[in-house]
Amino acid sequence: MRHALVPGLLLALLANPAFAARELTTDRPDTTESPFTVEAGRVQVELSFFEFSRDRANPEHANVSVEEWSLAPFNVRIGVTQNFDLHVIVEPQHRIRVVDHDAGRTDTFSGVGDVTLRGKWNFWGNDGGSSALGLMPFVKLPTASSSIGNGRVEGGVILPVSFELPAGWGLAAMTEVDFVRNDANTGYDHKWVNTASFDHKIHGDLDGFLELVSQVGGAPEYSFNAGLTYGIGEDMQLDAGVNLGLNRAAQDFLLFTGFTWRR
């Protein structure tokens, strides 16, 4: 019954396309979530074709490199009201390759990832204006393979905002508090994530963004991200980009490409 719930809800929404037109807004491809929601009665799928990351410059200065592949992770967003939507985030396949260069040893782990459930409220800005504010609580369910996930429920809350700036620039930012299982598996710690993303139209339907991300709680992590988006009609967008670590605790880099489709 649980497995039939989401497909059944999607079919019901697709069968009732009565909705008000609204400009396509997405939570991908930058790290910064948007404060905007999907209209009532509509479904929006945001998917990565793939994500690949590599990390060699670790804080311990160990001669170890880690490569990770994530294949087709997707976020299904379901508009419940004009100012509230639900998200189901699924990672069908994740692969980790760890190389200990000193020991000459390579370990590979693969399996499904965790499922994350989110809700988003938009307080203002959904249908116009120079600013917008949202609220996004979320919970991660431990559905991942034992070699991929930590087997624990985790969660948090995100506060995303956006502003229109002069000269065609836009600013999106968020602050996020995560409650995560500690390394000793004896309780929960919190992490605090802050981001700022600037976007601008390049030509026609081609836009670009530049983003800074910080995470504290444990070893601080900092990254600089950049990417492109290309709109196709009113209901589709392609994207690609790169995240670059600015210190040893962050991944060296992450490459991604994907798309968004709204029905």
76: domain CATH number is 2.40.128.130
CA nearest to 22, candidates 174, 132, 169, 163: 132
Considering the domain boundaries, does residue 21 fall inside one?
no
Number of domains present in the structure of the chain? 1
pLDDT score for 141? 97
Give the pLDDT confidence of 221-246 residue by residue, as tens digits. 999 999 999 999 999 999 999 999 99
Domain range spanning residue 239? 30-262
Considering the domain boundaries, does residue 19 fall inside one?
no
pLDDT score for 14? 46
Considering the domain boundaries, does residue 203 fall inside one?
yes
Burial of 211 (0-12, 13-18, 19+ CB in 10 A): buried
- Residue ranges of the chain whose pLDDT lies below 70: 1-20
Query: C-alpha angle with apex 121: 119 to 122, nearest 5 degrees?
Result: 145
Considering the domain boundaries, does residue 146 fall inside one?
yes
Considering the domain boundaries, does residue 13 fall inside one?
no
Measure the CA–CA gap between 29 and 228, rounded to whole angstroms: 8
pTM of the model: 0.89
Residues 6+ apart with CB under 8 A from 222: 212, 213, 214, 215, 245, 246, 247, 250
Burial of 212 (0-12, 13-18, 19+ CB in 10 A): middle
**What is the dihedral angle through the alpha carbons of 85, 229, 91, 152, rounded to the nearest 10 degrees?**
-70
pLDDT score for 1? 43
pLDDT score for 57? 82
- Do residues 36 and 60 touch, judged by C-beta distance below 8 A? no
Residue 162: how many other CB atoms lie within 10 Å: 24
Considering the domain boundaries, does residue 24 fall inside one?
no
Considering the domain boundaries, does residue 87 fall inside one?
yes
Measure the CA–CA gap between 171 and 194, rounded to whole angstroms: 13
Q: What are the contacts of 56-64 at 24+ separation with CB within 8 A?
A: 56/252, 57/245, 57/248, 57/252, 58/248, 58/249, 59/219, 59/248, 59/249, 61/248, 63/100, 63/101, 63/102, 64/98, 64/99, 64/100, 64/101
The three-state secondary structure class of 10 is helix
pLDDT score for 20? 52
Considering the domain boundaries, does residue 207 fall inside one?
yes
